Homo-oligomer: A and B are copies of this chain.
Amino acid sequence: MTPKPKQSQAPSSPPFKSTGLWLVGSRGAISTTLAYGLAAMQKGMLQPTGIITATPAYQSIDWVEWDSWVLGGHDVCQRPIQDSARELVRANILPHEWIEALDGEAQVFDGRMRPGILDGDGAAFDGADSRSAELGALSPREQISNLQKDWDEFEAEAGLQRTVVAHVASTEAVRDVQEAWSSLTALEQALDKGTDQPASLLYAYAAISSGRAFVNFTPSVGSLPKALCELALKHSVPHCGNDGKTGETLLKTALAPMFHARAMKVLAWQGYNMLGNRDGEVLKQDAHKAAKLTNKDEALRSILEQDVSAKDRDLHSHVAIDFVPSLGDWKTAWDFVHFEGFLGTRMTLQFTWAGSDSALAAPLVLDLARLAELSVRRGESGIMAHTACFFKAPLAGGTHDFHQQYRELLDYIGRIR
């Protein structure tokens, strides 16, 4: 299997054949929401509320139409996607009529799923597929080539022109940074030696080295390391991540710029998150929670203390994530902001955000799939810096101010129009 020279074709022509969207974590809530929502849009049963690229400001771009997307995916469990869907019906997220109305589409999607790689010791995961555990025991090089074989077969069977790989699986346990991640040469050697790697990094490596765009919607490492960024440039492949900005952090980065723009001093910003889905269950384990918390906190500091010299930085902030099983897919966050204005007067802002994790995340993944496909078609390679507004920890760095990030996306759209 060799990387296909996708960037050689005429950049602006819309694809004649279909396009694949491969979801890593395909039996989870985000994938299920995405799959049923996409099928419903394809059948004309659903308006694209929540999908940015479907709004007027994005109309002049030749996006891949909803009808042209074909779904496939990896997962480490074998739970039928209809079961995941029924859970979302009970949580009042999926309309109950869709179970029957979209059963055909669900079956096709389910049939295109393959066992994924179980990360680490899989301790976080109860009910893993035995084949996933077997895959997890292979050498990194074998794992990578297995993934690529799955994608090649997917594309052949479905007659696809290209595939975007999107990682939407549960957060991995935090790993120590490996020295081998700091350059592609070192990473290749480590892979040759069989050094154990996080699953998300293997997915990223497999996708990018086979010329497939890679979207990392999770806080797991993915294509963050310098070695992967080099790989993407070498293969002229676009990639983006990390960690979808869907809820509390979205609000933080939409509100914090206001405090900064009004010269008010934020004394403390406390964020308490509750969630009840499988993601929440995994995050009960401290190792898995760590990555998420870091991203949430860093975004805030970078906005509020941008003018403050290092020695004067004294913002007190705290982020908690707690598992509350009865909430199911409904994330609820309470944030408390204590700030100082003129005369040193101390004031407060508090907000409660109650949203469906999956309904917030799924449309962004569709947007990112469209944007990544467009980048491939346009011959762009490396980090898709214009997607920063989608992520808690954008790969290209830059501001965390949501409004600035969003303007950068609009600027990109303006440039390519």
| Number of identical protomers | 4
For residue A10, CB closer than 8 A to chain B, the reply is no
Are B346 and A326 in contact, with the CB atoms below 8 A? yes
Q: For residue A336, which residues in chain B have a CB less than 8 angstroms away from its CB?
A: 274, 332, 334
For residue A363, CB closer than 8 A to chain B, the reply is yes
Smallest CB gap from A403: residue in B: B403
Smallest CB gap from A269: residue in B: B324
Are B348 and A354 in contact, with the CB atoms below 8 A? yes
For residue A251, CB closer than 8 A to chain B, the reply is yes
Which residue from B48, B56, B258, B334 sits with its C-beta under 8 Å from A402?
B258
Interface residues of A in 19-65 (CB under 8 A from B): 33, 36-37, 40, 46-52, 54-57
Q: In the docked arrangement, what's the CA distance between A216 and B60, Å?
A: 42
Q: Which of A172-180, A225-233, A260-268 forms contacts with chain B? A: A260-268
Known A-B contacts A51-B342, A336-B274, A336-B334; A355 and B347 likewise in contact (beta carbons under 8 Å) = yes
User: How many A residues face the partner with a CB closer than 8 A?
Assistant: 78
Interface string of A91-124 (1 = CB under 8 A from B): 0111111000000000000000000000000000
Q: Which of A125-133, A135-143, A315-323 forms contacts with chain B? A: A315-323
Are B263 and A258 in contact, with the CB atoms below 8 A? no
Q: For residue A407, which residues in chain B have a CB less than 8 angstroms away from its CB?
A: 407
For residue A406, CB closer than 8 A to chain B, the reply is yes
Are B341 and A50 in contact, with the CB atoms below 8 A? yes
Interface string of A260-296 (1 = CB under 8 A from B): 0111110110101010000000000000000000000
Known A-B contacts A50-B262, A274-B336; A56 and B307 likewise in contact (beta carbons under 8 Å) = yes
A274 to chain B, nearest CB (A): 6
A307 to chain B, nearest CB (A): 5
Q: For residue A55, which residues in chain B have a CB less than 8 angstroms away from its CB?
A: 263, 307
Q: For residue A413, which residues in chain B have a CB less than 8 angstroms away from its CB?
A: none
Are A270 and B324 in contact, with the CB atoms below 8 A? yes
A3 to chain B, nearest CB (A): 33
Are A350 and B351 in contact, with the CB atoms below 8 A? yes
For residue A15, CB closer than 8 A to chain B, the reply is no
Q: For residue A349, which residues in chain B have a CB less than 8 angstroms away from its CB?
A: 251, 351-354
Known A-B contacts A268-B327, A316-B325, A324-B268; A344 and B262 likewise in contact (beta carbons under 8 Å) = no
For residue A299, CB closer than 8 A to chain B, the reply is no
Smallest CB gap from A307: residue in B: B56
Known A-B contacts A316-B326, A334-B336, A350-B351; A344 and B406 likewise in contact (beta carbons under 8 Å) = no
Residue picked from A56, A261, A265, A338, most chain B C-beta under 10 Å: A261
Q: For residue A348, which residues in chain B have a CB less than 8 angstroms away from its CB?
A: 332, 352-355
Q: In the docked arrangement, what's the CA distance between A199 and B324, Å?
A: 38
Residues of A within 8 A of B (CB): 33, 36-37, 40, 46-52, 54-57, 92-97, 250-251, 254-255, 257-258, 261-265, 267-268, 270, 272, 274, 307, 316, 318, 320, 322, 324-327, 332, 334, 336, 338, 340-356, 359-360, 362-363, 389, 401-404, 406-407
22 inter-chain pairs at a CB distance below 8 angstroms, sorted by A residue, are A47-B344, A49-B342, A92-B92, A250-B258, A251-B255, A255-B255, A258-B403, A261-B406, A268-B324, A268-B325, A268-B327, A324-B338, A334-B334, A341-B356, A343-B359, A348-B354, A348-B355, A349-B354, A350-B351, A351-B351, A352-B352, A403-B403
